[in-house]
Structure 1
Amino acid sequence: MLLHGEIMARRKLLLLLKPFDVHPLRHSDSFSGISNSNIKILRHLDNRIQVHKDAISFCQEVLQRKSVEWETMVHNDLSRPIRDVDLVVTVGGDGTLLKASHFMDDSIPLVGVNSDPTQVDEVEQFRDEFDATRSAGYLCAASVQNFEQVLDEILNKRARPSQISRISIRVNSHLLHSHALNDLLIAHSCPATLSRFSFRLKGNGESCGSLVNCRSSGLRVSTAAGSTAAMLSAGGFVMPILSKDLQYMVREPILPRGASSGVMHGCVKSDQTMEIAWSTEDSFAYIDGSHAAHPIRTGDIIELSSKAPVLNIFLPPHFLSANEPAAKL
C-alpha cells in the first residue's frame, strides 16, 4: 500500500559514468627513476581518479535517499539507444555528456555532473610545471556541491530542460544515427593532406547563394553549444546557447591571390541546409571530436542542417539570460 504523498510511478534514472581507467593509477613504489616533475604529474592524475570515484559514490548516496529507481553504467558500455528511463545523469565531464547524447533522442532529459572540476588555485600553483586543468564541464549543470539541490529541482519539476540544437547529417541522402551536439569536422584522415570540396546553402530546396569551391584542411560546422569549443579556438564567434543556427568555417583555406575569405566562414540558418560535394578519398566526418567517425568518399554528397531532434538538457544557470525561454535552476 502506498504511503501518503508517495509517487505512484517511481522515476527511473540512468547514472552514466566516465570510465575509471582514463588515467591508470600508479603506485608510489613504481615512481623509481622518474623525475620529481613527472611524479607531480602522476600524483595529480591519481588524484583526479580518486576525485572522480568519490563523486560517483556521492551521487549514488544521494540517489539512495530519493524515491527513484536507478542503474549505473559506464559510458563505454553504451551500444544501443537509451530507452525506458525518465532522466539520464552523467557523471564525468563534457565528454561523458557528449557520449550519452549520441544514444538519446528528444524524449528523455539529461543532466550532467562535473565529477572533477578545475581548481583555479591548483592551476596557478603548478602553472610553471604542468597543466593542472581538470574537467571544464561546460554543459554540466551540477557538481558534488549542488547535485542534490539540482536533482531535487528536477524531480519536483521546479526546473525544466532547455532544448538545444544538434546537427542532422545525411550522406548520399542516408541519415546518420549520430547527431552532433558540439560540432562536425569533415577532413582527410591525415591532417596534413589537402581536402577538396564544394558547398552551397539551400533554403526550401532552392540555392541561397553561389557554389563555393574549397581547397583546405577540411570543414568544421558547429552548433550553438559547440561554438565555444574548437570553433571559437579557430576564430569563430560564440552563439546564444538556444540558437537554432549552425556556424561553419573552412579550415586553413588556400585562396587564389586577391580572393576574399568572407565566404569561408558564416552561418547556416535554421531554415537552411548546407550541401557539400566531397572530392577527396580516405576522409571522415568526425562527430563531436573522436566520439564517432563516418567514412566519406569522393563523390559523396553531405547535407547538414539543424533539423535533428533537439537534446533536452538541464543547463548551468549562467547560460540562461532573462530573454531566453528556459527555467533557471
Structure 2
Amino acid sequence: MARRRVLLLMKPFDVYPPRPKAKDSSSFLHRTVNAHQILNHLDDRCRVHNEGIKFCQDVLRRKNLDWEPLFRNNISQPIRGVDLVVTVGGDGTLLQASHLIDNSIPVLGVNSDPTQPEEVGQLCDEFDATRSTGYLCAATMRNFEQILEEVLEGKNKPFELARISTKLNDKILPTFALNDILISHPCPATVSRFSFRIKCNDQKGSSLVHCRSSGLRICTAAGSTAAMLSAGGFPMPISSNELQFMVREPISPRAVDVPLMHSVLKSDQYMHISWSGKDGTIYIDGSHAFFPIRHGDTVEISVNAPFLKVHLPYCLPR
C-alpha cells in the first residue's frame, strides 16, 4: 500500500516583526509601563509556536508517511497530490490553506499556541494576553498525535463545511470564503454605496434595496461565530449550508428595507449586488484575499462553492 502523503503547512516562526532598539531602554520601559511584560509575552508566544512546529514534525517523522513541511507565506498555487493537509498555527493558517484546496483533500488544523485562561485572568488588568484562535482546529500539542492517528485510521471523519462563491461581473473569483466576505470601501471611514436584491433561480426576487452604509458582510455557518457574531449576528449550526448577511451601520434605511438589513440567504438563493461607489473592495476571510471593484460592477454571492473537508474539534456542536 502506498504511503499517505501529508503537507505540513505552518505559520512562520517570525510572527512578530523585529522590535526597534531604544537608545535608552530604561526610559522606554518607564514610558511604556508594561513593556517588559508584553515583550516577554510575545517572546513566549514565538517560543511556544516554534516548539509546536518541532513537535508536529517529530510526530510525522515517527509515522509511515511521506510528508513535506512548508511555510504558509511560501505557497500560492493550488494544493494537489496529497492525502491530508495539516496546518500548524491557528484559524488564520487553516483559512489560508482552505483557499488553495478543493473538496477532495481534508484539512486537520493544529492550534500551536492556544489561549491559556489562567494567564488571561492574571494579566487582564495589564494587557491582552489572549493567544491563537483555533475555533476550527481539532488538535493542540496535547492531543495531536492521538487525533492524527484517528484520522489516518479512518476513525475521525472530516466534516463538510459550506463555503461562499463570489462572482464579479459574472466571472467566478478563484477564492472561496470559508468564514466570510466583506464588501466595502477600502477606507473604513468612507461611506459604501450599493444596491442588492435576493433572487432564487429565474424568479424576480426581493425588491431592490439601496444602501449607504459601512459595507456588507456575508458569512457561512463556520464564520457566524467570528466577525458576524461580534457585529450582532447569531451563531448558526456548523452543518448549515445557508449564509447570513448584514448591512453594516446602514444610514437611515427605509422601514420596508429594515428586514433585509440582516437576514439569511437560503441555499437555493443568491444575492445580486450593484456597486455604486467610486471604489470598493471584496475582502475574503479578512485580509487573506481581496479584489478591487469600481462603480458599475456587479457582485453575485451564493453558497454554490465546493465544500471543504475539515476535521473539527469534538467539542464543536454539529
User: What is the CA-CA distance between 1:275 and the residue it aligns to?
Assistant: 0.6
Distance 1:112 1:204 in 2: 36
Residue type at the aligned position of 1:310: F
**2:27 pairs with one of 30, 33, 38:** 33
Structure 2 unaligned regions, length at least 5: none
Asked whether the equivalents of residues 26 and 42 of structure 1 are also in contact (C-alpha less than 8 Å), the reply is no
Asked whether the equivalents of residues 200 and 207 of structure 1 are also in contact (C-alpha less than 8 Å), the reply is no
Distance 1:244 1:259 in 2: 27
> Residue in 2 aligned with 1:20?
13
> Residue in 2 aligned with 1:103?
100
Distance 1:28 1:48 in 2: 20
2:170 aligned with 1:176: no
User: What is the CA-CA distance between 1:33 and the residue it aligns to?
Assistant: 3.5
Residue type at the aligned position of 2:275: W
User: Does 66-75 or 203-212 show the bigger shift?
Assistant: 203-212
2:105 aligned with 1:112: no
Distance 2:40 2:55 in 1: 22
Asked whether the equivalents of residues 37 and 129 of structure 1 are also in contact (C-alpha less than 8 Å), the reply is yes
Distance 1:29 1:145 in 2: 38
Structure 1 unaligned regions, length at least 5: 1-7, 322-329
What's the secondary structure of 2:50's corresponding residue?
A: helix
Asked whether the equivalents of residues 209 and 257 of structure 2 are also in contact (C-alpha less than 8 Å), the reply is no
Distance 2:236 2:194 in 1: 26
Asked whether the equivalents of residues 119 and 133 of structure 1 are also in contact (C-alpha less than 8 Å), the reply is yes
What's the secondary structure of 2:224's corresponding residue?
A: helix
What's the secondary structure of 1:98's corresponding residue?
A: helix
Asked whether the equivalents of residues 25 and 49 of structure 1 are also in contact (C-alpha less than 8 Å), the reply is no
| Distance of aligned partners of 1:27 and 1:56 in 2 relative to their CA distance in 1, 3 Å threshold | farther
Asked whether the equivalents of residues 193 and 276 of structure 2 are also in contact (C-alpha less than 8 Å), the reply is yes
User: What is the CA-CA distance between 1:21 and the residue it aligns to?
Assistant: 1.1
User: What is the CA-CA distance between 1:320 and the residue it aligns to?
Assistant: 3.9
> Residue in 2 aligned with 1:327?
none
Distance 2:254 2:149 in 1: 60
Distance 2:204 2:315 in 1: 38
Residue type at the aligned position of 2:10: L
Distance 2:150 2:293 in 1: 44
Matches within 5 A, 1:1-329: 8-24=1-17, 31-35=25-29, 36-256=33-253, 261-321=258-318
Alpha-carbon displacement from aligned partner over 1:266-298 (angstroms, at most 9, x marks no partner): 011011111101111221000000001101111
Distance 1:9 1:252 in 2: 55
TM-score scaled by length of structure 1:
0.92
| Distance of aligned partners of 1:256 and 1:84 in 2 relative to their CA distance in 1, 3 Å threshold | closer
| Distance of aligned partners of 1:303 and 1:33 in 2 relative to their CA distance in 1, 3 Å threshold | same
Alpha-carbon displacement from aligned partner over 1:44-92 (angstroms, at most 9, x marks no partner): 0000000000001111111111110101011001110000000000000
TM-score scaled by length of structure 2:
0.95
Q: Percent identity?
A: 59
User: What is the CA-CA distance between 1:259 and the residue it aligns to?
Assistant: 5.8
Asked whether the equivalents of residues 247 and 268 of structure 1 are also in contact (C-alpha less than 8 Å), the reply is yes
| Distance of aligned partners of 1:260 and 1:302 in 2 relative to their CA distance in 1, 3 Å threshold | closer
Residue type at the aligned position of 1:265: H
Distance 2:257 2:299 in 1: 25
User: What is the CA-CA distance between 1:257 and the residue it aligns to?
Assistant: 6.9
| Distance of aligned partners of 1:176 and 1:256 in 2 relative to their CA distance in 1, 3 Å threshold | closer
Residue type at the aligned position of 2:247: V
User: What is the CA-CA distance between 1:209 and the residue it aligns to?
Assistant: 1.5
Asked whether the equivalents of residues 158 and 312 of structure 2 are also in contact (C-alpha less than 8 Å), the reply is yes
Distance 1:158 1:222 in 2: 30
What's the secondary structure of 1:50's corresponding residue?
A: helix
What's the secondary structure of 1:206's corresponding residue?
A: coil
What's the secondary structure of 2:264's corresponding residue?
A: strand
Distance 1:86 1:263 in 2: 42
| Distance of aligned partners of 1:106 and 1:149 in 2 relative to their CA distance in 1, 3 Å threshold | same
Aligned length: 314
